[in-house]
């Protein structure tokens, strides 16, 4: 157990630091009164049981986890609209506090399950008492609708251990299609939504000042 704590400590550090940094991006948009392409950010270190399951499934030896498991540290950035995703990816590409080593576009290439999301794998340096450690970290960027679908599917997956009954599988595929259509509709009325958001932000500011 102590060995796992030691192994995971730099990953915990990376997740905490990146949460502050990525949430900071959102705050900057708020200060500039610009529409934020980031709705919220979450982060987690993969639980030990999931690391072991995935290593077993993919045949990754435990002494190769550092180089072969890309999502021990994971961040998620949720965006209001599909168009915001590429904007966020571009912002990540411009940063110089980490290096992007891989991008996987499951929006253009939706997974068979119906899963959609944009994955960016980075190498992130953390400073430890034993010197610098460069870690792989996966950032998943998705819309609120994609996140809703993935969260529900993920918990069902846990329940059925990946072996969905046929009817549930069909329903999930239907729901994925629904989430896709919702994203499309929301993009179409994006202008309207943004005007309303700007109106409410101004109202909130006025109420605060009065």
At closest approach, how far in Å is the CB of 25 from ligand 0O2?
21
We find the least distance from the C-beta atom of residue 101 to ligand 0O2, in angstroms, to be 13
Contact 194, 80 (CB under 8 A): no
The site map against ligand 0O2 for 90-119 (x = CB under 6 A) is --------------x------x-x-x---x
Candidate residues 50, 65, 144, 178; the one interacting with ligand 0O2 per rule CB under 6 A:
50
Q: How far is the CB of 100 from ligand 0O2 (least distance, A)?
A: 14
Q: With contacts defined by CB under 6 A, name the span among 122-130, 148-156, 166-174, 202-210 that binds ligand 0O2.
A: 148-156
Q: Is 171 in the site for ligand 0O2 (CB under 6 A)?
A: no
Can you tell me the distance from the alpha carbon of 120 to that of 103, in angstroms, rounded to the nearest whole number? Answer: 4
Is residue 138 among the annotated active site residues? yes
Is 150 a binding residue for ligand 0O2 by CB under 6 A? The answer is yes
Catalytic option among 138, 166, 192, 205: 138
Q: Is 71 in the site for ligand 0O2 (CB under 6 A)?
A: yes
Taking CB under 6 A as the criterion, the residue among 8, 13, 41, 46 binding ligand 0O2 is: 46
3-state secondary structure the chain: CHHHHHHHHHHHHHHHHHHHHHHHHHHHHHHCCCCCCCCEEEEEECCHHHHHHHHHHHCCCHHHHHHHCCCCEEEEEEECCHHHHHHHHHHHHHCCCCEEEEEEECCCCCCCCCCCCEEEEEEEEEEECCEEEEEEEEEEEEEHHHHHHHHHHHHHHHHHCCCCCHHHHHHHHHHHHHHHHHHHHHHHCHHHHHHHHHHHHHHHHHHHHC
The two structure tokens encoding residue 178: 């629904």
# residues contacting ligand 0O2 (CB under 6 A): 13
Tell whether residue 153 is a contact of ligand 0O2 (CB under 6 A). Answer: yes
Instruction: Copy the structure tokens of residue 110.
Output: 């939706």
Kindly tell me which of 17 and 138 has the beta carbon lying closer to ligand 0O2.
138
Which of the residues are catalytic? 138
> What residue ranges bind ligand 0O2 (CB under 6 A)?
46, 50, 54, 71, 74, 104, 111, 113, 115, 119, 150, 153-154
């Amino acid at each position: 157990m102590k060995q796992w704590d030691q192994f995971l400590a730099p990953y915990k550090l990376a997740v905490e630091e990146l949460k502050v940094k990525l949430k900071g991006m959102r705050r900057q948009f708020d200060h500039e009164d610009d529409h934020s392409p980031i709705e919220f950010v979450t982060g987690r270190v993969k639980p030990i049981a999931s690391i072991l399951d995935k290593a077993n499934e993919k045949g990754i030896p435990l002494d190769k986890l550092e180089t072969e498991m890309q999502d021990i540290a994971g961040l998620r950035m949720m965006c209001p609209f599909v168009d915001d995703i590429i904007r966020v990816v571009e912002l990540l590409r411009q940063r110089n506090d980490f290096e992007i080593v891989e991008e996987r576009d499951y929006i253009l290439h939706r997974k068979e399950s119906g899963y959609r999301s944009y994955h960016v794998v980075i190498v992130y340096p953390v400073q430890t008492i034993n010197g610098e450690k460069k870690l792989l970290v996966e950032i998943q960027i998705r819309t609120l609708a994609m996140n809703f679908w993935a969260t529900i599917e993920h918990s069902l997956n846990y329940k059925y251990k990946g072996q969905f009954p046929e009817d549930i599988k069909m329903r999930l595929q239907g729901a994925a299609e629904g989430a896709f259509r919702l994203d499309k509709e929301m993009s179409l009325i994006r202008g309207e939504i943004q005007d309303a958001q700007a109106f409410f932000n101004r109202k909130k500011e006025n109420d605060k000042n009065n």
